[in-house]
């Protein structure tokens, strides 16, 4: 019950006051499944890309974080080939920083920020760690993937 009420409030807020470059909506008849789109930020290798995400809201939400993954392939050191995201606010303490006061809008904004500023010290994709050592090569590959997979 708490999940449904909270989700309705959050979705209403996302519809009327979405964060810049982010949209989110309910996916079909299942209230626990959401979809989101994040526009790649200006001056990033993801610029002009549209990235689709899947959000599964657990029964215990907001006491448990939603599971969010990219459906659109993205070349990023903190996002793996299955679309899973390495971000502290998506995990419960003690390893994570999820708190019930956070919401889906905040999570999507955090993911958008991670896209703009990868964390090379906590890579999920070891082969993309060149972000730290060869940023030009990383930027080139990330732009290529964006054009190929997230182009409009």
Closest CA to 116 of 67, 47, 68, 52: 47
Active-site residue, 24 included: no
Q: What is the DSSP string of 18-52?
A: PPTTEEEEE-TT-TTEEEEEEEPPTTSTTTT-EEE
86, 104, 107, 124: which is the annotated catalytic residue? 86
Closest CA relative to residue 138, chosen from 146, 10, 6, 39: 146
Q: Which residues are catalytic?
A: 86
């Amino acid at each position: 019950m708490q999940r449904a009420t909270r989700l309705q409030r959050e979705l209403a807020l996302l519809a009327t006051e979405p964060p810049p470059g982010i949209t989110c909506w309910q996916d079909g008849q299942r209230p626990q499944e959401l979809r989101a789109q994040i526009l790649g930020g200006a001056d990033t290798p993801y610029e002009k890309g549209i990235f689709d995400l899947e959000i599964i809201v657990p029964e215990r939400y907001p006491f448990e974080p939603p599971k969010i993954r990219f459906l659109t392939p993205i070349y990023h050191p903190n996002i793996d080939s299955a679309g899973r995201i390495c971000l502290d606010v998506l995990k419960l303490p003690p390893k994570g920083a999820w708190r019930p006061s956070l919401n889906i809008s905040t999570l999507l904004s955090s993911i958008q920020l991670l896209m703009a500023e990868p964390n090379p010290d906590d890579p999920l994709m070891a082969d993309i760690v060149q972000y730290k050592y060869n940023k030009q090569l990383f930027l080139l590959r990330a732009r290529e993937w964006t054009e190929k997979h997230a182009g409009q």
